[in-house]
A and B are shown apart, each in its own frame.
Chain A
């Protein structure tokens, strides 16, 4: 006997959550989460991530729409009856129970007998590297250890879905990286379905199979880390995931979904992504700018910063400031110089023009 996975997919169909009478925390979202995948909910504060998560757990009930876990409609099921475990930001370890009792707690309600409960709890603690800590009280553990107890407590139930609400926000940077890798390892080894809330984009990129970027109670984009990074759907996503320079441009012609764009005097060809001729925006990652290219946009170098592994540059152009990164640390450019900045063949993507302008 060992800890397995009963991973199941989760699906949201037109789900809306309204608190009280007028606080719309989640607005008509559709979401399919595949079994055995780790999906992150990412977005700025207050965009409805926690609410979405709590609706999966059954701690909040959807106001409209339906939620399915596996092949069952769980929309009306309370938390107790859902096969879902959750790791809380505050860990929520029961302070009056030992670590072992905490981990065994849920097993007691799942019809395991005493010895099986004990075995499983011990295995859970093993899995998170806390063998031998069973008799301690939560208050006698470090923050990271408490966190792992919370994970073990949820894992041993072999839930269909495991939920994490900002599980790392109480940990220091180094531990964060370590614990997030542990979580990812466990998830992949056991093939768990995990839904994970964070507002740290680096964390999201590092652990996820798929990222759901949320904005103002709705979903801005869903995709793999790579998709989101390389092909953000709009300026919000481009800005939120990694850093991006947003450069206003003009699409002069489109043929076979290849657009020719014009920025001042510079022209460039790239996938049109369905955009028509007219004003648009170009999102370029700092690494995708070619400094000192033969053809490009004319810019003035304002600031150069050496950060060890690379150089960081701030450049001034007619449309505003641009941030660029170069691997070449041995021959840095001098501030004040006028240079041509070109674009990499892949990387830069076209976005619809900024709605706010």
Chain B
């Protein structure tokens, strides 16, 4: 007999969050503590010292009395214990507790800051406060979570989403963190677009910046230069198309051909993803720049005058294509593998030739994947800033303009904000175009019936050009990487080509001493920081991304469209903007995390989450819903269904999300460069520093090391997550002969 959750009077989840709330209020320091995890604060005056005291101790000592109302939010849920969920009072109590606690926490956080009242009206109303408060710490964080989840439990008990606590809490959690870390900073940043130099607000300022000729000029049609907006758009469309086609080619070669070196090819396509940005740009310069090897070779052999053709659109296009094709590949491989073989087999038996099967069944079924891949390529290109920085020449794009608007001599936040809005419009436009193209068709292909077919091979007419393209790309990629490696072991590129390991020694030397290993190399600090931050960010990103994907594909609830829009928004915002907006939003209470590692982790989660979401959506929409439903009718609740059915079937998507977010966290630069601090320096910003000092050798050596480290991490993750046994009769596809 099934235990009925509606008739229980003990609620483990409720008890957990009540305890969490009390711990947050009574035990943990309420305000932010530097170096929390060294636990030095424990012996440094805790729990009475004002800096380290929990909220309850502060109040007890007559300080920060405005925290008191929150205690009510901790008392109310106690009354709900022992009641049934169906009891209307249960729901009311929890909703009231959550709303009071959470609402008050936010309200006091925004109204009282480091200089007392944050708003003039509050001062006018209540008079001088004579006290102040700093950013919230773990106590506040845990309390806020407790209030939030008490609230969602109350909502669920009222019958929302069939009373499903997991789903309601997941929605609540995602909404709150996306609001806090996407909408709030962006809103703060965008208001900057209307701020005049003397601090007032004016729409005129915005208009003059928005209609600037530098943005929208069409000079290139008559031989001049076009506006940066057009430049970005043109580049992004090209990159989106090319990477999608190339990604599809690789996915086809790996899954549907008799090609023997699939694994090697697969590894090769992953390389650019694990390469820090601008490294590909640097390698292209080493090859095709004015004194690049290829350029020199051709001018020596054929007397061709070296030109600067690389700098501008061609260079950025090549670099971005190299860099982003693997993203398209990762998206498409899942989709191509996911197309149910029985569909293709069915078509074959309907007298379709291999080519017709491909054209009429396989390709249309891959449509969601293709659309996703294009969107990713488009947005990545829009947001990329490393390559245009290195290779852009006179071809200015939005992302670099934003960067220079902020770090350059201009320091014009308003301009950066306006440019960011233009960028946002483009990416959102692409987002809607994709929606429109996909329409309402269902692309479900993995059904609950054990699927026992095998994928047919590509038609020969297709496989030859596809293989050829793949080989050319592979060869080119290999050359690029050989150049990178070679560049790291020569004294000084183009000037002194003697082989040396000195760059590696400078960066990564260590000594073994009595007291242990001494990491004496210059790069170690940033290296460890990077690894740590990436390792923390990756699983969090994957979790948030997949839960969001689950909500989007499997649940219906009011406001779902807005929800999807919100989660996708952070993806459409280039890292540069994230960086700047985070600095603006998070260097003052209530959330004061600039200069910490947390801000880096958070920025990575919300930069990379959409990839997890997309990967999750693409694979989840291929899982037949009857699988979830039968799990539910067998007595599993939605959390158990998520964990035992959906997650295992989604392993490829999880792997993709994990790998991608880890790697992105290690190679990201655009947001990072604003957010690093002396204590938390990241590898990429360290390398950029080296490049600025013309220390190319060290920069490339460090990059090479990173590439190898990430390679091993990726391999390790692949090993841990393992491959899903979907249970096709053969995992290999049939041979052509």
Task: Give the interface of A toward B (CB within 8 A).
Answer: 6, 57-59, 61, 76-86, 88-96, 105-106, 109-111, 137-141, 143, 146, 150, 153-154, 157, 163, 170
Contacts and interface: CB of A to CB of B under 8 A. Distances in A.
Contacts of B729: 139-140
Nearest to A94: B645
Contacts of A89: 626
A57 B632 CA distance: 9
Nearest to B452: A139
Contacts of B446: 95
A109 B649 contact: no
Q: Which 3 A-B pairs have the closest CB atoms?
A: A106-B634, A92-B448, A139-B450
Interface stretch (B19-27, B573-581, B719-727): B719-727
B159 A76 contact: yes
A91 B448 contact: yes
B629 A78 contact: no
A154 to B, nearest CB: 7
B727 A157 contact: no
B1 A6 contact: yes
B728 interface: yes
A87 to B, nearest CB: 8
A122 to B, nearest CB: 17
B3 A111 contact: yes
Q: Is the interface of B mostly helix, strand, loop or mixed?
A: loop
A57 B446 CA distance: 23
Contact of B630 (A81, A88, A111, A139): A88
20 contacts: A57-B629, A79-B632, A80-B5, A84-B633, A85-B634, A86-B630, A88-B626, A90-B447, A90-B624, A92-B624, A92-B629, A93-B449, A95-B727, A96-B724, A105-B636, A105-B644, A109-B636, A110-B3, A110-B635, A139-B728
Interface string B428-451: 000000000000000000111111
A140 B450 contact: yes
Q: Give the interface residue-count category, chain B.
A: 35 or more
B727 A138 contact: yes
A348 B164 CA distance: 54
A61 B450 contact: no
Interface string B492-514: 00000000000000000000000
Contact of A139 (B451, B624, B629): B451
Contact of B727 (A59, A88, A140): A140
B260 interface: no
Contacts of B727: 95-96, 137-140
A110 B1 contact: yes
B254 to A, nearest CB: 22
B596 interface: no
Contacts of A141: 450
B221 interface: no
B632 A106 contact: no
A86 B633 contact: yes
A143 B448 CA distance: 12
A20 to B, nearest CB: 11
Most buried by A among B162, B640, B724: B162
B637 A80 contact: yes
Contact of B638 (A80, A85, A93, A106): A80
Contact of A137 (B1, B450, B629, B637): B450
B263 interface: no
Contact of B634 (A61, A138, A154): A154
A158 to B, nearest CB: 8
B648 interface: yes
Interface in B685-728: 724-728
A163 B178 CA distance: 41
A91 B635 CA distance: 16
Contacts of A143: 449
Contacts of A95: 446, 448, 450-451, 649, 725-727
Contact of B633 (A76, A85, A139): A85
A92 B631 CA distance: 9
Given A80-B632, A80-B635, A140-B729, A94 B627 contact: yes
Contacts of B635: 80, 106, 109-110, 157
B504 to A, nearest CB: 44
